[in-house]
Amino acid sequence: RISGAWAQKVITTIEAIEIQTFIDWNTPRLCLESDGIRYGNHFKQKKPPKLPHVPGCRCEAIKLFYTSDDVFQGTSPILKHKSAIGEISSKDASLLKKMLLKIITHSNKGSFTDFISQFETKNFSDDIRPQAISLVERAFKKGNSRSNDSHDDC
């Protein structure tokens, strides 16, 4: 039987630095891949990279404080994400990053309609869905024209 102070839940504060990138149609691949990675004594990676880490980088190193409770429940103190279409939810940012990374990492033969049909666009928040799809379409068109170019528009 546990009583007294031992019956109390112990909550520890954890300090972290999280890389957050500004999401746009031309955000560099490394920035999209680095977005959301946390650094600090309690994390796998201890020190964040020096920023900007590639040409076109618009990443920020954000200092965060978590409770041990947040970590175990998988919650994050970051609820909004900066993007070309304004501040968006972390859920919307995640879907947008997934689409942009797919454009960068795969040759996108075919139409934009075929490409976008691979994703659940209805999962975007109603208020940003048209702008998000338009941003992805711009990246798709640039990605297809870039495969014919030798330079990068980042």
Return the HEC string of the chain: CCCHHHHCCCCCEEEEEEEECCECCCCCHHHHHHCCCEECCCCCECCCCCCCCCCCCCCEEEEEEEEHHHHHHCCCCCCEECECCCCEEHHHHHHHHHHHHHHHHCCCCCCHHHHHCCCCHHHCCCCCHHHHHHHHHHHHHHHHHHCCCCCCCC
- Which has the higher per-residue pLDDT, 81 or 3? 81
pLDDT at 55: 95
The whole model's pTM is what?
0.80
pLDDT tens by residue, 50-101: 999 999 999 999 998 877 777 667 666 667 899 999 999 999 999 999 999 9
Predicted confidence (pLDDT) at residue 150 exceeds the cutoff of 50 = no
